Amino acid sequence: MVNKNGSYCSTSVSTCNTRKYHGLLVSPQPKIDSDNHVLLSCLDDTVIYDEKEFRLSVHQSPGVHQPEGYLLMESFTWEGYARWTYNADGIIIAKELILDQNEDRVFIRYFFSRPGAILRVAPFIACRNIHTLRAGNHRVNVNTENGKNGLAVGMPGEYAPLHFQVSLPSSFIRSPDWYDNIEYEQEQLRGYEFRESLFVPGYLEVETGDAQEVVFCAGIKPMTASRISRRFFAEKKSRKMTEGLDQCLDTAASLFIVKKKQGTEIVAGWPWFGHWGRDTFIALPGLTLTVRRAKIFESVMQDMLRDFRDGLFPNTGRGKNASYNAADTSLWFIRALQQYTEYTRKPELTWKYYHEAVISVLENYRSGMLPHIAMQENGLLRAEKAGKALTWMDAIVDGHPVTQRNGLAVELNALWYNAICFALYLAGKAGNAAFINDWKHIPRAIEKSFPETFWSEEKGYLADCVNDSGTDWSLRPNQVIAVALPFCPVGKEISEAVLAVAEKKLLTPRGLRTLSPGDPCYKGIYAGNPRERDLAYHQGTVWPWLLGYYAEACLRVRGKAALEQINILYHGFEDALYEYGIETIPEIYDGDEPHRPKGCIAQAWSTGELLRVRQMLRKNGYKPGAEKTRSVVAHVKAEL
């Protein structure tokens, strides 16, 4: 669950946190840094009937899961919010979890089939950056104060106080302690530090009496008891049941759009990615234009232009922390404008508001004044920097790029050609003859040099990269991007050959592999420690976002004859909605069957490009027959 401020709530179905990124309340802390911070990690919640305790929570410690609340769990249901049901010796306990959409607050409602329960809730507090773990400091001075219907806890540093409250009269039993050796299984499997200490100030105790429900909330501001219940039910009422892929994607589109004081940002992926320039421009059209949110598109563009310098957008960071370490980000910016113009059908306005940035990109790329990008005499774009990966395949291992791709990268040059042609189109609509006269000869040069440089009649596909060391004939999906663009530097015959080989070697039901399985460098499983995973990241791992450009290439080359196949691929993601995260499309999949989901559970460009695929189907009037649509209401027996 994500709210409009960029806070999130995430855990496993069993409620046992298995990642350092899991937490019931994870929120930005701008006084500390630009990242999210785990504030409330988890709870220890216990229900008591007739002096018999039923513990609902699960924590992992060395060699044991304790308590074992999953043994009482009968089901988990997703209905736009999370709902667990427990059976405590015939007494049914329902627990509903929901994140406030407008404030940094999480609610948990407990409903009991029999009155007379006593509820004890102990908060496990982390207050640390999502990428780190907290070491216990038993001497640290944690400020704990009783409040109305709860307590306030002030952790050291710049953290805002945390308020823990309930909707019924309660008492706070003070018992401050650090719980050491809390383990996160998935961090251990991925080769990271996996143990931390969490602070527990004590517990809130509620005697429900004749009442059969109580609402617990945790936030950075206090609430009155009556407002706690009202706010919970208002949030619950606002959640809509989603059925099938279409509705889930519509809902997921908003997960990545975060409003901050300085503007509107796209979060590249939940839970651990932040703001990335390249990801923003690739994901933005799908996340906004396909769901008729052009104003958000424009707001994000204005936000991105704040850090635009000398023809470059930062790929990571903002302001003083901006890193201008990519050659393709600015070209993806122009590609996003191209899709915006297709949506608005007002090229003259695109030119009016964005021509300065577009011209700056083209002029700086052409001039050779940038330290790592320059146009050659034949019109092609050379981008290289020792020890750096300048395209989207940017994994670094032991200080060296896994796929450096220095020199002439195939999709970079296709984006360059497309950007120039699109700018000439805009200039023509705006009547800018000077720009046209200055640039019109370059596309003609590229149309000759591009196939001469990249195409092999013998191999039947485009080279991935060409440089002074030779030609890299690694079979990768970047050539599919090259033949998908509206202004394409090769003809349909070459484009069809590229599609044919991509379908034979790269295409899977979950996206395109980043390398052919026949290549000796191919790695079909994305697993292991950080080094092992980075070695596989672009060496065979499947990326769903590439399906957007595969579908676009199919339609450009084959026309409506491609629609049925595209539709099958699109609806194949019905099952993906609940196999990893709920109602989200993940970052990557294994290259080998059965193509298990990996990486972050919700990725912006995976979602955005699937939305674009759907838009292509609709735009071309495709009317599918009875499709398999499955509700993502998942009833899951929690097992460890």
Cis peptide leading into 271, omega within 30 of 0? yes
Confidence (pLDDT) at 624:
64
Q: Which of 528, 579, 607 shows the shortest CA–CA distance to 270?
A: 607
**In this structure, which amino acid lies at residue 144?**
T
What are 23's strand-pairing partners? Answer: 10
Q: Are 217 and 232 in contact (CB under 8 A)?
A: yes
Secondary structure (H, E, C), 192-216: CCCEEEEEEEEEEEEECCCCCEEEE
User: Which tokens hold the place of 387?
Assistant: 């020890």
Q: Which of 200, 203, 26, 42 shows the shortest CA–CA distance to 128?
A: 26
In 89-219, beta strands by DSSP E: 91-99, 105-112, 118-129, 143-147, 150-154, 162-166, 171-183, 195-207, 213-219
Which three-class secondary structure state does DSSP give residue 50? Answer: coil
Instruction: Say how far apart CA 9 and CA 23 lie, in whole Å.
Output: 6
Sheet of 507-508: strands edge to edge?
507-508, 511-513, 542-543, 588-589, 597-598
User: Which tokens hold the place of 230?
Assistant: 């009202």
Q: Which of 332, 330, 243, 354 shows the shortest CA–CA distance to 286?
A: 332
Phi, psi of 47 (to 5 degrees): -110, 135
> Radius of gyration of the chain from Cα atoms?
27
Q: Are 373 and 383 in contact (CB under 8 A)?
A: yes
Q: Cα 207–211–213 angle (5° rounding)?
A: 90
* Residue 293: C-alpha distances to residues 117, 189, 248, 422, 607 (Å): 47, 40, 17, 23, 15
Confidence (pLDDT) at 639:
32
Confidence (pLDDT) at 628:
43
**In this structure, which amino acid lies at residue 331?**
L
User: Which tokens hold the place of 472?
Assistant: 């890299």
Q: Residue length, the chain?
A: 640
Confidence (pLDDT) at 59:
96
In a 13 Å sphere around the CA of 23, the CA atoms on its Cβ side amount to 32
Phi, psi of 415 (to 5 degrees): -65, -35
Question: How confident is the chain (640 residues) per 10-residue block, as mean pLDDT?
Answer: 94 96 96 93 96 96 94 94 96 97 96 96 96 82 81 89 95 92 95 95 95 96 92 93 91 93 92 96 98 97 96 92 94 98 97 98 95 96 94 95 96 98 98 97 98 98 97 98 98 98 98 98 97 97 98 97 96 92 96 97 98 96 57 32
Which three-class secondary structure state does DSSP give residue 343? Answer: helix
* Residue 472: C-alpha distances to residues 117, 399, 404, 569, 629 (Å): 69, 21, 11, 30, 42
Phi, psi of 593 (to 5 degrees): -65, 145
User: Which tokens hold the place of 40?
Assistant: 């409330």
Q: Which of 378, 246, 392 shows the shortest CA–CA distance to 315?
A: 392
Prediction pTM value: 0.94
Q: How many other CB atoms are found less than 10 A from the CB of residue 438?
A: 16
Confidence (pLDDT) at 637:
32
Instruction: Say how far apart CA 243 and CA 168 lie, in whole Å.
Output: 35
